[in-house]
Amino acid sequence: MNLEAARAALRDARRVAVLTGAGVSAESGIPTFRDAQTGHWARFRPEDLASPDAYRQDPDTVWEWYAGRYRDVLRAEPNGAHYLLAQLEGLKGNGFLLATQNVDGLHARAGSQRLVELHGNLLSARDEITGEVFALPDPDVLETPPVSPNGHRMRPNIVWFGEFLPEDALATASEAFASADVALVVGTSGVVYPAAGLALETLRQGGVVIEINPEETELTPLLSFSVRDVASRGLAALLGQAAS
Which residues define the annotated binding site for substrate? 66, 69
Using CB under 6 A as the binding criterion, the count of chain residues that bind ligand APR stands at 19
Query: Which position among 188, 202, 224, 226 is part of the footprint of ligand APR (CB under 6 A)?
Result: 188
Q: Does 231 bind ligand APR (CB under 6 A)?
A: yes
Q: Does 32 bind ligand APR (CB under 6 A)?
A: yes
**Could you give the string, one character per residue 92-131, with x where binding to ligand APR holds by CB under 6 A and - elsewhere?**
---------x-----------------x------------
The least distance separating ligand APR from the CB of residue 105, rounded to whole angstroms, comes to 13
Query: Which position among 22, 62, 110, 210 is part of the footprint of ligand APR (CB under 6 A)?
Result: 22
Q: Active-site residue numbers?
A: 119
Query: Which position among 6, 23, 180, 223 is part of the footprint of ligand APR (CB under 6 A)?
Result: 23
The least distance separating ligand APR from the CB of residue 44, rounded to whole angstroms, comes to 15
Would you list the DSSP string of the chain? --HHHHHHHHHH-S-EEEEE-HHHHHTTTPPPTTTT--GGGGGS-HHHHSSHHHHHH-HHHHHHHHHHHHHHHHHS---HHHHHHHHHHHHHGGGEEEEE---S-HHHHTT--SEEETTEEEEEEEETTT--EEEPPPGGG--SS-B-TTS-BEEEEEPPTTPPPPHHHHHHHHHHHHT-SEEEEES--S-STTHHHHHHHHHHTT-EEEEE-SS--TTGGGSSEEE-S-HHHHHHHHHTS---
Q: Does 230 bind ligand APR (CB under 6 A)?
A: yes
Q: Does 187 bind ligand APR (CB under 6 A)?
A: yes
